[in-house]
Structure 1
Amino acid sequence: MPLPRPARRPVRPARPAWAGRNYTLLTAAAVVTGLGSSGALIAAAFAVLETGGSGTDVGLVAAARTVPLVLFLLVGGAVADRLPRHRVMVTANILNCLSQGAFGVLVLTGEPGLWQMMLLSALGGTGHAFFAPAAEGMLLSSVSGEQAGRAFAFFRMGVNGANIGGAALGGALVASVGPGWVLVLDGAAFAVAAALRAFLDLRGMSERTPGRGLLSDLREGWREVSGRPWLWSVVLQFAVVNAVIAAAEAVYGPLVAEEHLGGARPWGLALAALGAGTVLGALLMTRWKPRRLLLTGALSVFVLALPSAALAVPVSAPVLSGVMFVTGISIEIFGVTWMMALHQEIPEEKLSRVSSYDMFGSLAMVPVAVALAGPVAGVFGRSAALWGCSALIVLLTAAVLTVPDVRRLTRREHGGPGPVDVLAGPAAGPVPAVPAPAPRTVTENSGKNGGRRPG
């Protein structure tokens, strides 16, 4: 008599049902480039300084990346809605790979000229202008069903963790092997990301057909934004919120730390606390599903006024770190609810154009605010300028809450019509028509993150 076979244990899936192939590839690629790009930001600055450049030269190289990024964002969004998004992303990654690799080789083999570093930075910014809207649209289209919020939270948690780890690793590598190798490694990270994104599965995605022309596509994207009060009001809000946060963090924060907190070390710890808060906030949003998406997100933005106020006092270093930690949590609450709103409400074929207008609004005023931060502090005093930053955030957020659609927009459990990530399975339900994205400091994964909504 044959012995009974032991019951087989059920095999657990390698990943959750909501994490389809496209989502997994996009997340892995974003983490890889986050690790590389965060270190490259440090390496680029030290590469300029090691060639005898001044602080002004560092600013010029940074501006050379930002200017084409802002100029080409709207065009990048229109292109990403006309062509297959994964092709736009892969092409942009290759451009970033070549520009960062060339930057690194120049640093390793000699003393690059300022114009060469500015040119290569400009190429990187141009690549990102086309990449970011395509990436946001692709990510928002890659998940479906009621677990979309959890998927976006995990994505942001991975990217935030990579940015923190990449900055720490990049700083250590710059000190040990020099900035050139860090830039070369960033170029290699873009190559890996391009390879991952080349394997995205486009079955089930809607066909990209050219419209009546690029300008017509841009006008159609603008109508999509201007016809939704909740959308354009938040974009306008963060155009100013991101700008004043950038001024506080880039200009006033280091000065306050130098004069009152003990120098760069406590300021670095405060920024690290901010990063840790974003990771915890994303983890929180994997569990929490607020019903009133934008109301929840808008209320969390009030917290973003606290760091400027803390610097205006100024508070002690430990208190400032605590404030920054709580702010990081609030950033992610807004970031995930904002992505959910776009995912749910925007037609899939217009996602990249809407994202480009969102990112343009998030970035356009940042250079102006940073440039004016010093003169404004000279006229009114640094403390008054910081209090002004906090007041603007509070007033604009209160104004956004007067928009009825912001208060009323409600999470739909099963989203709206749209394509399904083909490997997520039919049980996941339809993908709502839809990063990020974060206002954000501009990395390869930018959207509203810098100030910090995120791509």
Structure 2
Amino acid sequence: MLGELRTGWSEFRSHTWLWVVVVAACVTNLAWAGATHVLAPALADVTIGRQSWGLVLAAQTAGMITGGLLAMRLRVRRFLRYGALALFTMAGPLIILGLTPRLIPLACAAFLAGVGLEQFSVAWETTMQEHIPADRLARVYSYDMVGSFIAVPIGEMAVGPIADRFGLQPTLLGTAAVLVAGLVGMLSSSDVRTLRHRLPRAEPGHMEESVP
């Protein structure tokens, strides 16, 4: 087992784009989880109401479905860069919550965030399967999952005391800033920006959208 862990770690750290994305995801998930799992429901309870917050979450789910369907049609040469850029939509709901929490703008922002999140998910899964050897993929996935989500409970625990000190809405704006900073850090790596996707050949007579 230790030998397999070493093999997986060696493969994980040998790809700069891989560990850069995982570190950035750790930061963004910390901010997103604290904001949407703890602060947003508390703020919605005293502004738009619980039922409206449920509609916002439903809009995000609809966006994820739409994002998945859209990802099936795209032919993107730098798929990972495209996915990382799409994640900036996740800051939208946090900014609106921090400024003027209203149902319609929130639902629209949540829909776009769902689209962006699913675009990144498809880009990430595709990139991993293309560039990691199949016999090491499961072990690399393990490091990906641990690194990406290990900070989620920290964000959920820390955001409450911070909001008590600075207020719900300023803290939500702060989480949006942290999320954006994590994404900027992700895109600061040239390996993330330039990694090329192996485009499949289009079927005869079948047109697909191409993104550089």
| TM-score, normalised by the number of residues in structure 2 | 0.91
What amino acid is aligned across from residue 220 of structure 1 in structure 2? Answer: T
Deviations 1:47-89 (CA, angstroms, capped at 9, x unpaired)? xxxxxxxxxxxxxxxxxxxxxxxxxxxxxxxxxxxxxxxxxxx
**Tell me, what secondary structure is at the counterpart of 1:289?**
strand
Residue 206 of structure 2 corresponds to none
Residue 116 of structure 2 corresponds to residue 326 of structure 1: no
Deviations 1:274-303 (CA, angstroms, capped at 9, x unpaired)? 000000110111111211111101111111
Residue 83 of structure 2 corresponds to residue 297 of structure 1: yes
Match of 1:257 among 30, 35, 44: 44
Residue segments in structure 2 that go unaligned for 5+ positions in a row:
202-212
Residue 232 of structure 1 corresponds to 19
Alignment of 1:186-201 (within 5 A): none
Looking at structure 2, the residues matched to 283 and 301 of structure 1 have their Cα atoms a distance apart, in angstroms, of 17
**Tell me, what secondary structure is at the counterpart of 2:28?**
helix
Residue 73 of structure 1 corresponds to none
Alignment of 1:47-62 (within 5 A): none
Residue 342 of structure 1 corresponds to 128
**Tell me, what secondary structure is at the counterpart of 1:410?**
coil
Looking at structure 2, the residues matched to 400 and 406 of structure 1 have their Cα atoms a distance apart, in angstroms, of 7
Kept in 2: contact 1:260–1:314 (CA 8 A): no
Work out the number of aligned pairs and report it.
201
Residue 29 of structure 2 corresponds to residue 267 of structure 1: no
Match of 1:371 among 132, 149, 157: 157
Structure 1 residue 380 displacement after superposition: 2.0
What amino acid is aligned across from residue 164 of structure 2 in structure 1? Answer: G
What amino acid is aligned across from residue 350 of structure 1 in structure 2? Answer: R
Deviations 1:213-247 (CA, angstroms, capped at 9, x unpaired)? x1121111111111111000100111111121111
Distance 1:225 1:265, change over 3 A: same
Alignment of 1:68-87 (within 5 A): none
Kept in 2: contact 1:245–1:389 (CA 8 A): yes
Kept in 1: contact 2:64–2:118 (CA 8 A): yes
Structure 1 residue 362 displacement after superposition: 2.0
Kept in 2: contact 1:241–1:392 (CA 8 A): yes
Looking at structure 2, the residues matched to 271 and 224 of structure 1 have their Cα atoms a distance apart, in angstroms, of 37
**Tell me, what secondary structure is at the counterpart of 1:275?**
helix
Kept in 1: contact 2:76–2:199 (CA 8 A): no
Residue segments in structure 1 that go unaligned for 5+ positions in a row:
1-213, 416-455
Residue 99 of structure 2 corresponds to 313
Residue 209 of structure 2 corresponds to none
Residue 199 of structure 1 corresponds to none
Looking at structure 2, the residues matched to 321 and 233 of structure 1 have their Cα atoms a distance apart, in angstroms, of 31
Structure 1 residue 314 displacement after superposition: 2.6
Structure 1 residue 408 displacement after superposition: 0.8
Match of 1:245 among 18, 22, 32: 32
Deviations 1:76-110 (CA, angstroms, capped at 9, x unpaired)? xxxxxxxxxxxxxxxxxxxxxxxxxxxxxxxxxxx
Structure 1 residue 349 displacement after superposition: 0.4
Residue 355 of structure 1 corresponds to 141
**Tell me, what secondary structure is at the counterpart of 2:113?**
helix
Looking at structure 1, the residues matched to 174 and 18 of structure 2 have their Cα atoms a distance apart, in angstroms, of 25
Looking at structure 1, the residues matched to 96 and 75 of structure 2 have their Cα atoms a distance apart, in angstroms, of 30
What amino acid is aligned across from residue 151 of structure 2 in structure 1? Answer: M
Structure 1 residue 412 displacement after superposition: 1.4
Alignment of 1:166-177 (within 5 A): none
Residue 215 of structure 1 corresponds to 2
% identity of equivalent residues: 38
Kept in 1: contact 2:90–2:113 (CA 8 A): yes
Distance 1:320 1:294, change over 3 A: same
What amino acid is aligned across from residue 345 of structure 1 in structure 2? Answer: H
Deviations 1:386-428 (CA, angstroms, capped at 9, x unpaired)? 111111111121121121111111111369xxxxxxxxxxxxx
What amino acid is aligned across from residue 86 of structure 2 in structure 1? Answer: S
Residue 186 of structure 2 corresponds to residue 392 of structure 1: no
Deviations 1:164-201 (CA, angstroms, capped at 9, x unpaired)? xxxxxxxxxxxxxxxxxxxxxxxxxxxxxxxxxxxxxx
Structure 1 residue 356 displacement after superposition: 0.7
Residue 71 of structure 2 corresponds to 285
Runs of 4 or more consecutive aligned structure 1 residues displaced over 4 Å after TM superposition = none
Higher relative contact order (CA 8 A, sep 6+): 2
What amino acid is aligned across from residue 40 of structure 2 in structure 1? Answer: G
Residue 189 of structure 2 corresponds to residue 403 of structure 1: yes
Structure 1 residue 315 displacement after superposition: 2.8
Looking at structure 2, the residues matched to 357 and 414 of structure 1 have their Cα atoms a distance apart, in angstroms, of 28
Looking at structure 2, the residues matched to 384 and 220 of structure 1 have their Cα atoms a distance apart, in angstroms, of 44
Deviations 1:92-150 (CA, angstroms, capped at 9, x unpaired)? xxxxxxxxxxxxxxxxxxxxxxxxxxxxxxxxxxxxxxxxxxxxxxxxxxxxxxxxxxx
Deviations 1:23-62 (CA, angstroms, capped at 9, x unpaired)? xxxxxxxxxxxxxxxxxxxxxxxxxxxxxxxxxxxxxxxx
Structure 1 residue 330 displacement after superposition: 0.4
